[in-house]
Structure formats: structure tokens, C-alpha cells
Amino acid sequence: MFKRLFTACLIFGTAALAPPVQAQPITNCAPRTLLVERLSDAFGENQIALGLQSPTVMVELWGSEQSGTFTILLTRPDSISCVVSSGSGLVVLPRQVPHIESRF
């Protein structure tokens, strides 16, 4: 009995002291021209909006009203874009123009 208990403790103790397995980073990055071509040809997406996240990173929203798909890209100055998110069910809201009252 003692041998089995000792063996089990030795096996589980060794497993507990093993270094953790490092997750491999998943990169969804490619030259911007290739990603844009793929989004346009495969999904019918067009650029809907863009903005600056920082002085060196541009955020782009690509989408298709027909298919309802969308993709969010981060683009660096070296023209490498990374897919941050994508999904379906895109609804493009109409732009509301603010009403400005005249004082005259």
C-alpha cells in the first residue's frame, strides 16, 4: 500500500512541478493590400469607417450590408494589418445630421 501511495505522490508531484505550457500566439496579420483584396472579393466588404487608435495605429471597419458581415482591422504604418474581430449581423445606421437653430 505504501509503495502505491508513494508512486502516486511521486508522479503527481512531478507533474505539478513541470513548467506550464506556453500558448502559441495566433497572428492574423498580413500586408494590408492582401487583406483588403480578400475582404472585398470573398465577403463583398467595403470600408465603412476608420479612425486613429494612436498616432501609429489606424482602426478600420469593413462591412457588407448585403451579407451582414463585418471585420475590424488594425493597420500599422508599415502597411501590415491585423484582424482584430469579425462577425455577422451588421446593421448600418443612417447618419443623423444635427439640427442647428438659426438665431436670426
3-state SS class at 5: helix
Return the closest-CA partner of residue 35 out of 64, 71, 67: 71
User: Minimum mean pLDDT among 9-18, 20-29, 56-65: which range?
Assistant: 9-18
The 10s digit of each residue's pLDDT in 37-93 is 999 999 999 999 999 999 999 999 999 989 999 999 999 999 999 999 999 998 888
- pLDDT surpassing 90 at residue 34: yes
Q: How far apart are CA 72 and CA 81, in angstroms?
A: 10
Spacing of C-alpha 76 from chain mean position:
14
| pTM for the predicted model, two decimal places | 0.66
HSE of 56, CA atoms in CB hemisphere, 13 A: 4
pLDDT for residue 27 is more than 90: no
